[in-house]
Structure 1
Amino acid sequence: MNIVLLNPEIPYNTGNIGRSCVLTNTKLHLIKPLGFSLDEKQIKRSGLDYWHLVNLKIWESYEEFLEANKNANIYYTTTKTKQNYSDIKYSSDDFIMFGPESRGIPEEILNRNKENCITIPMIKMGRSLNLSNSAVIILYEAFRQLDFKF
């Protein structure tokens, strides 16, 4: 599996997601610009002693990521779709993309990929769930479907 963070802003979320990636044998992709330095102690603190084990790929741009992964099956997470994450049949080489914490994946990307947009259902009171929680919810659904073959 592959988790993709497009322009992540909060180091604690990225550290938590990195830790989850290590413990599920999932590759973590970070697409610049990042809202923090990977040398910051916050990312290492939230990733605990797992951060050095993260299978990490850093991309300079979304376009570079797409060019290198031309045939990838990418799911785009958003609150702006009705397709639930649990209605998808995941494969072990899928990519699950999350946008920046403050604004999500840009509309133009979502509009070009409507059939692959997924959401986590929630009540209307909040704007969205925490990024690291959302990543783990969807990641574990994918692995549940794959019989937890990490």
Structure 2
Amino acid sequence: MRIALFEPEIAGNVGAVLRLGACLGTAVDLIEPMGFEWDDRRVRRTAMDYIDHVAVVRHPGFDAFRGSIGTQRLVLFTTKGDRSAYDFAFRPDDVLLFGKESAGVPAAVADACAARLRIPMRPQVRSMNMATSAALALGEALRQCGALPG
């Protein structure tokens, strides 16, 4: 299982997702362009020394990323999702995709995904922080697959 971030804009969110990947043993794909310089110290400040314990792959764009995952199923998490993440059957080789913080993903990227899932939340609010969403989604996916560490 992998986490993929489409054109992330906030270094702190990327750092938090890298730390999540390190803790749960999940690689992280970063689909460029990103909204910050990769050497941004804010990434390392959030990821801390955990960044040394996660496999990170940077892709120059969505097409390059898509070509790298072969037949793995791409599962998009979006506020526009038509199914709850808790009513979905995850597979161990799924790639969990999260869009950029300000705009999600374009329609063409959403159309390339096998599923569009949402994390249920109160109707009075728009969305969760991307790193928080990734943690909830990955935790459920790994739980279903019996792949939670420890």
Q: Judge same fold: TM > 0.5, yes or no.
A: yes
Report the CA distance between 1:59 and its aligned residue. 0.4
Report the CA distance between 1:112 and its aligned residue. 4.5
Superposed counterparts of 1:94-109, under 5 Å: 94-109=94-109
Report the CA distance between 1:149 and its aligned residue. 4.1
2:61 is matched by which residue type in structure 1?
S
The aligned residue for residue 28 of structure 2 is 28
Structure 1: 5+ residue stretches without partners = none
TM-score, with structure 2 as normaliser: 0.93
Structure 2: 5+ residue stretches without partners = none
2:37 is matched by which residue type in structure 1?
S
1:88 is matched by which residue type in structure 2?
F
The aligned residue for residue 76 of structure 2 is 76
Report the CA distance between 1:108 and its aligned residue. 2.7
TM-score, with structure 1 as normaliser: 0.93
Residues 71-114 of structure 1 deviation map (CA, whole Å, 9 limit, x = unaligned): 1101011111220111111122110000000011112322444x
Report the CA distance between 1:51 and its aligned residue. 1.2
2:147 is matched by which residue type in structure 1?
F
Q: 1:120 to 1:149 in 2, by over 3 A?
A: closer
Aligned residue pairs, count: 149
Query: Within the alignment, does 1:117 sit opposite 2:136 as a pair?
Result: no
Counterpart CA distance in 1 for 2:70 and 2:147 is 27
Does the 8 Å CA contact 2:12/2:42 hold for their aligned counterparts? yes
Query: Within the alignment, does 1:16 sit opposite 2:16 as a pair?
Result: yes
The aligned residue for residue 64 of structure 2 is 64
